Amino acid sequence: MTERFDAEGWLAGAVRRESPNQDERPEGERPSLVVIHAISLPPDDFGGPWIFDLFDNTLDPAAHPYFAAIHHLRVSSHFLIRRDGELVQFVSCDKRAWHAGVSEWLGRERCNDFSIGIELEGCDAMPFAPAQYDALKALLQAILQHYPISAVAGHCHIAPQRKTDPGPHFDWQQLRCEFATVRFPAMQKS
């Protein structure tokens, strides 16, 4: 990927689908952390429109029993990488997406303030697709060229009491090998 970010924080080459669930970062704050997540709606099911609906606040609580408990959430992420590697951007990287929740990285709370969130369509129960790793590495390369990122972590690392994603099947080693200048969590599966 040779795509670059425009002056407003949108990545050329990504499908743009803006979420209302965003706001301004604190004054003077630039992203320094990338947080990797996993999402599937309903759980362990891929390919439907439900992630888009959740991030758009249009998730139908009657469409699946699981949705009744989450349709009220106001969440978003900067990016989603689908199983086939398609890259979708919901929030400008210059803005604050609502992906981390109650969180802390290296003693600093409120990770949404200083992070970029990347959702991978996936779950704890199965590996991610090779196309997703290819898209993720290309996306990280573009992010690192534009933003002062010093670390990449999983949702499980910034909210360990609440979250397990990206899950035990996520291959951290692939990223460590390619991005040696960035800090990663201690060598272990998430």
Residue 177 to residues 172, 174, 181, 182, Cα–Cα distance (Å): 9, 5, 10, 10
Candidates 8, 162, 177; CA nearest to 95 is 8
* Residue 119 is a catalytic residue: yes
Segment 36-46 shows an average pLDDT of 97
Burial class (CB in 10 A: 0-12, 13-18, 19+), 140: buried
Structural domains of the chain sorted by starting position, each given as residue range(s) with its CATH number in brackets? 15-178 (3.40.80.10)
What pLDDT band is residue 169 in, cutting at 50, 70 and 90?
Answer: very high
* Sign of the Cα pseudo-torsion (165, 76, 140, 2, in order): positive
Q: Which of 86, 104, 119, 178 is catalytic?
A: 119
- Contact, 59 vs 69, CB < 8 A? no
Q: What is the reported pLDDT for 187?
A: 57
**Which element (helix H / strand E) includes 175?**
helix 172-178
Supply the pTM of this predicted model: 0.96
Residue 120 to residues 37, 91, 108, 137, Cα–Cα distance (Å): 6, 15, 24, 12
For 101-137, the pLDDT digits (tens) are 999 999 999 999 999 999 999 999 999 999 999 999 9
d(CA 23, CA 178): 32
For 59-89, the pLDDT digits (tens) are 999 999 999 999 999 999 999 999 999 999 9
Segment 84-97 shows an average pLDDT of 98
H-only helix segments in 27-147: 50-56, 130-146
Segment 130-152 shows an average pLDDT of 97
- Contact, 190 vs 153, CB < 8 A? no
Question: Three-state SS for 102?
Answer: coil
d(CA 94, CA 148): 12
Candidates 108, 115, 118, 94; CA nearest to 38 is 118
